[in-house]
Structure 1
Amino acid sequence: MTVQPIGDQARAFAMQAATNRIKTTMATLTAELASGEVADLGGRLQGNTQNLAGIEARIAALAQFGRNAAEAAAHTKGMQDALTSVQTTATRIGQSLYLDPQAATDALVATRSAEAASSLQAVIGQLNGSVGQRFLFSGMQSDTQPLASAETILTALTTQVAGLTTAADVAQAVSDWFDAPPGAGGFADVAYHGGTGGQLAPIGESMTITLTTTALSPAIRDSLKGLAAAAMVDRGALAGNGAEQRMLLQAAGKSLLDNSPPLIAEMARVGYAQQLIATAQTEGSAATATLQTARNTLREADPLATSTALSDAETKLDTLYSVIGRLSQLKLVDYL
């Protein structure tokens, strides 16, 4: 019988290959034990990764919906804060204008009108607010500031009411300018620079909200109208006729108070959008948690089996080292 001996160099290479193989196995098992996930996912799923890919895709989509919902939540909160400020200002100014007695002095009339002009500027500043570089009340054109300055509006109105001699005529002229349709040279053309329609935001797998409230919405426009009408006295309207000026201020105050319910309804509309967003966020978080659990179940490594395999690999490595040690001590003299 012919014996095929193995040389020392060949044996060294064989031992080195065996050592590297066991060490690689131990490194893989150690990583699985630390991460809790199998290293060979394809082998674990027997090549059928379709379910896992679907779960991963849904998790990614839900993450995007979550980002959309968070952005929409910040946007609607900004809108609600601005509308609350507008409503508070309009109510306060409306009460002071409407409830002041007819016997108010000319100085008080001037003070009230100047206060209305200042409030108009403050309200426009609120409506021109933005969140995340998106203007809150510009509709689809959220990259455009919705309103011109208070000075621009009052200058345009001063031209409209020039020469009018009664409070009713001035109030009507102001109302007509604010209510003029696009193309007629009124508020929609001179003061409003935003877009029409609403901002669409997909916030869930089957949920999309539309934010239709803009600075052109009737409730918001009527608030601006009342403040602007009262500010006309400060711009010289009805000069020299204190009685008509008082009537104009009272009419403006009444319009502000009458507009409170529509303005609150607009706030409720935004509040409903906030409720939908919160619901979408809750549902999205629950769905994501469920999908992550399913994904982890497919990818997780069995800690007990991994520990057993690691211990077995360590035993094999120790045995191999013992064999290598014994082989390294062999001598030809001992053999002979």
Structure 2
Amino acid sequence: MNRISVGDASLTSILQRQGAALKADMQRASTEVVTGRQTDTAAAVRGDLTTLAALDASLGRLAAYRSTAADAGFLSGAMQTTLATLTSVAGPAATALLRAASMTTPSQVNTAAAEARVRLDTALGAINTQVAGRSVLSGVETGVSPLGTAEELLAALETAVTGATTTDAIETAVRGWFADPAGYGTFYRGGVAQAPVPIAPGESADLAVTALDPAFRDTLAGLAMAALLDRGLMNSQPSARVDLANRAGLMLQNSEDARVGLAARIGIVEAQIETASTRNGAEDSALKIARSAIGAVDPYEAASRLEELQAALEALYLVTARVSRLNLAEYIR
């Protein structure tokens, strides 16, 4: 019988192919030992990727909810900060105006009016606050400031109170301008309130708050009426100025209810966002655990497989080394 032998070149090629295959297998085995997952997930699930696709889709939706919930929480926090600033402005202004009215001295009224004018700037600045390049209280028009400047506001009010000769008439004109869509409504530059934001499956956070809310409008009305005194309103009638200072102080005091009410409504939404975020986080963790279980490898089996491949590769290297040393002199010997 004739023997069929493999030539040196063919044997070398075979050994090289085997070496390359063993190295590739070792690389995969090493990866599986480190990650605890099979490198070929499709093979692990026998080509049925339905469950894996469903898990990935759910994780993607939760990631979107996480983003919108974080954005809503950021927005609600900014609103609460604005309200806190208004309260810190309105409280001292109301106290100063009521104290000045009780003293009935022109200098005290002048000082309180000047202070109210400065605080009006602060209040408008807080309402016009932009966070991450977006106006918080402009509704859908996040690219513009919701309100104009204090100078523009007071100029419009001066026009509105023109012809009013009594404190009753002036207060009525100021209140009317702030309640009028053609007054404060046109001073507002933002858009309609934003739609509810989805924060979890079947759940949305409603932060439909703009600078048109009474919490902001009533506070500005009290500050603005007091600031008109700083611009010389009723200068020739000291007693009327005292009365207006008292009325402005009371307006600011009464505006606290609207601010507290709005802060409470936003606080409820903040709690809702926190609860939804916690629930989303728990579901995300559970889904990730379930996904990790698909295609997971047994650590002991993976380590044993790696050792086997290392031993096979070492044996191949030994054979290759011996074959590479074969020559005629070694054969004859």
Q: TM-score interval w.r.t. the shorter chain?
A: over 0.9
* 8 Å Cα contact 1:199/1:210 also seen in 2: yes
* 8 Å Cα contact 1:87/1:264 also seen in 2: no
Counterpart secondary structure, 1:260 = helix
Cα distance, 1:17 vs structure 2: 1.0
Distance 1:325 1:248 in 2: 105
RMSD of aligned residue pairs (Cα, Å): 1.8
Runs of 5+ unmatched residues, structure 2: none
Distance 2:236 2:327 in 1: 127
Distance 2:279 2:321 in 1: 63
Distance 2:325 2:130 in 1: 81
Match of 2:201 in 1: 205
Q: Which amino acid aligns with 1:39?
A: T
* 8 Å Cα contact 1:139/1:211 also seen in 2: no
Structure 1 counterpart of 2:185, from 188, 197, 205: 188
Match of 2:93 in 1: 93
Q: Which amino acid aligns with 1:256?
A: L
Counterpart secondary structure, 1:137 = coil
Cα deviation, 1:131-180, whole Å, max 9, x if unaligned, reads 11111111121222100101001011112222322111111111111111
Match of 1:48 in 2: 48
User: Where do residues 26-37 of structure 1 align in structure 2 (5 Å cutoff)?
Assistant: 26-37=26-37
Match of 1:143 in 2: 143
Cα distance, 1:193 vs structure 2: 0.4
Distance 1:326 1:234 in 2: 104
Structure 2 counterpart of 1:233, from 221, 229, 236: 229
Q: Which amino acid aligns with 1:198?
A: Q
Cα deviation, 1:96-132, whole Å, max 9, x if unaligned, reads 2224344421111111111111111110000000111
Structure 1 counterpart of 2:302, from 303, 306, 321: 306
Distance 2:49 2:28 in 1: 21
CA distance change for structure 1 residues 324 and 208 in 2, over 3 Å: closer, same or farther? Answer: same
Higher mean C-alpha displacement, 140-149 vs 202-211: 202-211
Distance 1:180 1:37 in 2: 66
* 8 Å Cα contact 2:101/2:245 also seen in 1: no
* 8 Å Cα contact 1:230/1:249 also seen in 2: yes
Distance 2:166 2:300 in 1: 92
Match of 1:269 in 2: 265
Q: Which amino acid aligns with 1:298?
A: I
Runs of 5+ unmatched residues, structure 1: none
Counterpart secondary structure, 1:208 = strand
Distance 1:224 1:196 in 2: 20
CA distance change for structure 1 residues 101 and 109 in 2, over 3 Å: closer, same or farther? Answer: closer
Q: Paired residues, what number? A: 332
* 8 Å Cα contact 1:158/1:235 also seen in 2: no
CA distance change for structure 1 residues 93 and 8 in 2, over 3 Å: closer, same or farther? Answer: same
Counterpart secondary structure, 1:202 = strand
Cα distance, 1:88 vs structure 2: 2.5
Q: Which amino acid aligns with 2:165?
A: T
Counterpart secondary structure, 2:140 = coil
Distance 1:95 1:330 in 2: 105
Cα distance, 1:194 vs structure 2: 0.8
User: Where do residues 49-88 of structure 1 align in structure 2 (5 Å cutoff)?
Assistant: 49-88=49-88
Match of 1:165 in 2: 165
* 8 Å Cα contact 2:101/2:243 also seen in 1: no
Distance 1:187 1:331 in 2: 102
Distance 2:325 2:101 in 1: 117
Counterpart secondary structure, 1:311 = helix
Percent same amino acid at aligned positions? 31
Higher mean C-alpha displacement, 96-105 vs 138-147: 96-105
Counterpart secondary structure, 2:151 = helix
Match of 1:285 in 2: 281
Distance 2:102 2:316 in 1: 107
Match of 1:121 in 2: 121
Q: TM-score, normalised by structure 2?
A: 0.94
Match of 1:216 in 2: 212
Distance 2:102 2:270 in 1: 43
Q: TM-score, normalised by structure 1?
A: 0.93
